Amino acid sequence: MSAELSDLYQQVILDHNRRPRNRGRLPTANRSAHGDNPSCGDQCDVFLRLEGDRIAEISFEGSGCAISQASASLMTTQLKGKTSAEAQKLFKEFHEIVTTGKEPEVISDLAAFAGVHAFPARIKCATLSWHAALNALRGDTVAATTESHKD
Amino acid sequence: MPSPWLRIRDEFPILHQEVNGHPLVYLDNAATTQKPRAVMAALDRFYERDNANVHRGLHALSMRATDAYEGARSRVATFVNAEAPEEIVFTRGTTESINLVASSWGGANLRKGDVILLTEMEHHSNLVPWQLVAQRTGATLRYLPVTGDDGLLDLSQLDRVLTPEVRVFAFTHVSNTLGTINPVADLCARARRVGAVTVIDAAQSIGHMPVDVRAIGCDFLAFSGHKMASVTGIGALYGRKALLDAMPPWQGGGGMISNVDFFESRWKPTPERFEAGTPNFGDAVALGAACDFLDTLGREEIRRHDGALARLAYERLSALPGIRVLGPKGERGGLVSFAFESLHAHDVVTFADEDGIALRGGHHCNQPLMRRLGLTSTARASFYVYNEEREVDALVASLRRTLKFFGLQG
């Protein structure tokens, strides 16, 4: 297996794909948003319970490749307890990681997605759930779509 | 004369390369086929010798180009056994051909209370144009169901859905996801009994088997050049002359008028009426060359070759753990799509690519069918004249490695 492919399918990603965290509808959610990736048919719903400006609980539901499922799962573990400004900042970091392959300064599981940058077609897989989560935070009712974003 | 099949891979230069350190195994032919030297040479020859704008030209090159363009039209007409070259309208491909029928015929003939009958296995290109004309005219859509994973049209439902309100029945010849070969001649005969016009999406059949519009008995048939060993950007609509003659233009411009005044114009007869603007004559010449190439191989032989590979793949794939292989078990077109219980199609395709194997993964522009089957995506292997049994072996071996990597070897 090539270095690129083993970088893409790292243990952290395989683990989150096999045992997704926070998967399923959140009965107590007061925000939710839907995301579509029209180029591959992937879908993702993100559910939030906001307490003030802080994400008290978060979950996701959806279908897609290992990259998209692992990304959604890992995202929920990263966003829980964050304020919306903190969430925006984390997404910026994550976006940088998946588009450039540059590992973050602070040690983070998000670095597992650095291998995505060598597979440009898969960047949208990794970012779909994040777009849905940010939409939910903003209270947007329009479905997030990977086509309306650069990635 | 030696069989043209003997050195067929030599005709396709693109096949002779490595991808990710492995010999390329190109199994994405349902998306687009590779092009033989003969087709590329025809294109070169045209641009090196004969290129000039067609029609109304009074100089030598324009006359030659016009002859080449109209010669290609005649060649395509004989390829599908149309009665006359005038029954062939050149388009950009299947999608544009179907849009032409939906917009022009549909716009002029459909009204509230009319029914457009489609099947659940239609590609978005034979679905969305009809949704658009339904919105425009007030006609409604109705669907003939598919049976399930074996991917056949549920003909027991045909009488229920094919009622006298059906004005047009549009269906695919070969499903691009299921590989099903539909009984198109029977469907056309049944449609005629209720007076419905028939439109066939031949994108997946035209390059793979004999397609004879008179034997099928259809009113319209749409196809693309790039899925039949020709180039992108050219395709055709076959239409029965009586129907085409009665249809209004769908795009206006040069080349399609007999007389233009400041406030109104008169149209040329078919096919020019439907070819506004400078037509794609260069690629039409390449389409004609592809017809020659395929007839040299023999379309009955192509059907046997591609179908045999697809059936072999169906059998070998069915033995893999946790797999769902779609479409009919027996006779099928040259493609197989499959889905793993615990492995997404995009992961499958990425790992196959690592082994130099080109597959397609996704909804294949078949989202409603996918939902109907409870799937979001499948991986698809599709075959053409240059594929070999060893490439089916390579695919199966690669999939086994992928399953092992994900701990799914069963």
Across the interface, whether the CB atoms of B362 and A40 are under 8 A apart is answered: yes
B80 and B207 co-located in one domain: yes
Query: What does the pLDDT read at residue A146?
Result: 64
Does residue B104 belong to any structural domain of this protein?
yes
Asked about B291 being catalytic, the answer comes back as no
Per residue in B329-384, pLDDT tens? 989 999 999 999 989 999 999 999 999 999 999 888 998 999 899 998 899 999 99
Give the tens place of pLDDT for each residue, A5-62: 888 999 999 999 999 999 999 999 999 999 988 777 788 999 999 999 999 999 999 9
Domain count, chain B: 2
Residues of A in contact with B345 (CB under 8 A): 65
Q: Which of B244, B274, B295 is the last residue of a domain?
A: B295
Tell me the mean pLDDT in the region B237-243. Answer: 98
- Any idea what DSSP says for residue B68? H
B285 and B303 share one domain? no
Residues in CB range of B361: below 8 A, 6 or more apart:
A40, B344, B345, B346, B348, B349, B377, B378, B379, B380
Mean pLDDT of A90-119: 90
Same domain? For B252 and B348 the reply is no
Contact state of B346 with A8 under an 8 Å Cβ cutoff: no
CA distance B361 to chain A (A): 8
Same domain assignment for residues B19 and B73: no
Mean pLDDT of A94-99: 95
Question: Is B410 among the domain residues?
Answer: no
Query: Which pLDDT belongs to residue A151?
Result: 53
Cβ–Cβ < 8 Å for B114, B165: yes
Does the pLDDT at position A150 exceed 60? no
Angle made by CA atoms B28, B199, A40, in degrees to the nearest 5: 35
A-B CB pairs within 8 A amount to: 49
Mutate: best of A14, A40, A71, A146, partner B, most B CBs <10 A: A40
Q: What integer is the mean pLDDT of B212-234? A: 98
Same domain, B285 and B339: no
- Check CB contact under 8 Å for A5 and B361: no
Residue B334 falls inside a structural domain: yes
| Domain, as residue range, for B385 | 8-30+299-405
Considering the domain architecture, whether residues B274 and B348 belong to the same structural domain is answered as no
What pLDDT digit, counting tens, does each position of B181-195 carry? 999 999 999 999 999
Instruction: Kindly determine whether residue A1 and residue B346, on different chains, have CB atoms separated by under 8 Å.
Output: no
Whether B35 maps to a domain, the answer reads no
Q: Are B348 and B332 in the same domain?
A: yes
ipTM of this model?
0.85
Query: Searching chain A, which residue's CA lies closest to the CA of residue B406?
Result: A14
pLDDT at res. A148: 54
Mutate to test the interface with B, among A4, A18, A42 (most CBs of B within 10 A): A42
| B375 interfaces chain A, CB cutoff of 8 Å | no
From CA B8, how far away is CA B12, in angstroms rounded?
A: 7
pLDDT-above-90 percentage for chain B: 89
Residue B11: C-alpha distances to residues B240, B293, B385 (Å): 35, 10, 11
Q: What is the mean pLDDT of residues B162-181?
A: 98
Q: Is residue B13 part of a domain?
A: yes
Residue A93 has pLDDT above 60, yes or no: yes
How does DSSP classify residue A103?
P
Asked if residue B105 and residue B152 are part of one domain, the reply reads yes
Domain of B305: which CATH number?
3.90.1150.10
The enclosing H or E element of A102 equals none
Does one domain contain both B369 and B249?
no
Q: Encode pLDDT of B1-36 as tens digits.
A: 789 999 999 999 999 999 999 999 999 999 999 999
Task: State which of B295, B323, B355 marks the end of a domain.
Answer: B295
| Same domain membership, residue B303 and residue B169 | no
B1 lies in a domain?
no
pLDDT at A142 over 70: no
Contact A122, A8 (CB under 8 A): yes
What is the pLDDT at residue A41? 75
Confidence of residue A141 (pLDDT cuts 50, 70, 90): low
Contact A9 B405 (CB under 8 A): yes
Hey, which bits of chain A come out as E strands? Answer: 31-37, 42-51, 54-63, 144-145
Across chain A, what does the average pLDDT equal? 89
Interface of A with B (CB under 8 A): 1-2, 5, 8-9, 14, 18, 39-43, 63-69, 119, 122, 125
Q: Do A64 and B362 touch (CB under 8 A)?
A: no
Question: For position B263, what pLDDT does the model report?
Answer: 86
- Classify residue B3: in a domain, yes or no: no
Contact A40 B346 (CB under 8 A): yes
Q: Is B289 on the interface with A (CB under 8 A)?
A: no
Measure the CA–CA gap between B222 and B205, rounded to whole angstroms: 10
List chain B residues with CB under 8 Å of A66: 343-344, 347, 406
Q: Return the ∠ at Cα B139 (arms to B137 and B142), rounded to 5°.
A: 150
By Cβ distance, the residue of A9, A39, A65 closest to B344 is A65
Q: Name the nearest CA neighbour of B208 among B219, B224, B220.
A: B224
Contact B120, B177 (CB under 8 A): no
Q: Looking at residue B268, which CATH number applies to its domain?
A: 3.40.640.10
Q: How many Å apart are CA B204 and CA B332, to the nearest integer?
A: 11
Average of per-residue pLDDT across B395-407 = 96
Domains of chain A (ranges plus CATH)? 3-139 (3.90.1010.10)
By the 8 A CB rule, do B19 and B396 touch?
no
Query: Which residue out of A65, A71, A119 would a mutagenesis test of the B interface target, given it has the greatest number of B Cβ atoms within 10 Å?
Result: A65
d(CA B195, CA B198): 9
pLDDT confidence band for B163 (50 / 70 / 90): very high
Taking contacts as CB-CB distances below 8 angstroms, the residues of chain A near B405 are 1, 9
Indicate whether B184 and B216 sit together in one domain.
yes
Q: pLDDT band at A147, cuts 50/70/90? A: low
Does any domain span residue B119? yes
Mean pLDDT (chain B, rounded): 96
Q: Domain check: are B347 and B235 in the same one?
A: no
- CB-based contact, B372 to chain A, within 8 Å: no
The domain boundary, picked from B295, B317, B340, lies at: B295
Q: How many CB atoms lie within 10 A of CB B105?
A: 24
Facing A2 at nearest CB: one of B20, B362, B370: B20
Considering chain A, what percentage of its residues have pLDDT values greater than 70?
Answer: 92
